[in-house]
Amino acid sequence: EAGVTQFPSHSVIEKGQTVTLRCDPISGHDNLYWYRRVMGKEIKFLLHFVKESKQDESGMPNNRFLAERTGGTYSTLKVQPAELEDSGVYFCASSVSSGANVLTFGAGSRLTVL
């Protein structure tokens, strides 16, 4: 079984530019989560999809961040325009159900904003 795949693994952009991160969850996993770890701090929740619907987006920092999951398969997280404080590692995770079950994480996408 293929795991959670994230792309790109590392992106370096300048302040003001746009970046789109992609996550391919495990096939059949309806639940998809985005998290972010900034500067070695705690991993913070961004949002949660159930299929194509946003179940919880309480962790999205501001309107420069846009997450989509068209068709309920892969998801994208766009940052536009990027700011210096957006630098960090963005993790995606998926799970079969949204109960107290195990989340499977991708390797993360490291974003560096210069």
Partner 1 sequence: GDSVTQMEGPVTLSEEAFLTINCTYTATGYPSLFWYVQYPGEGLQLLLKATKADDKGSNKGFEATYRKETTSFHLEKGSVQVSDSAVYFCAPSYLNQGGKLIFGQGTELSVKP
Q: Which two tokens stand for residue 70?
A: 């068209």
15-34 positions binding partner 1, by CB under 8 A? 31, 33
**Window 69-98: residues binding partner 1 (CB under 8 A):** 91, 93, 95, 97-98
Identity of the residue, 17 or 87, whose beta carbon is nearer to partner 1 in the bound complex: 87
Q: By rule CB under 8 A, what count of residues binds partner 1?
A: 31
Listed ranges 16-24, 37-45, 61-69, 71-79: which one lies at the site for partner 1 (CB under 8 A): 37-45
Peptide bond into 81 cis (omega under 30): yes
Which of 67, 52, 56 shows the shortest CA–CA distance to 21?
A: 67
Q: Which two tokens stand for residue 92?
A: 């995606």
* DSSP assignment letter at 86: G
- Residue closer to partner 1 (CB basis): 82 or 108: 108
DSSP 30-54: -EEEEEEE-TT--EEEEEEEETTEE
Residues in touch with partner 1 (CB under 8 A): 4, 6, 31, 33, 35, 37, 40-45, 48, 50, 55-56, 91, 93, 95, 97-108
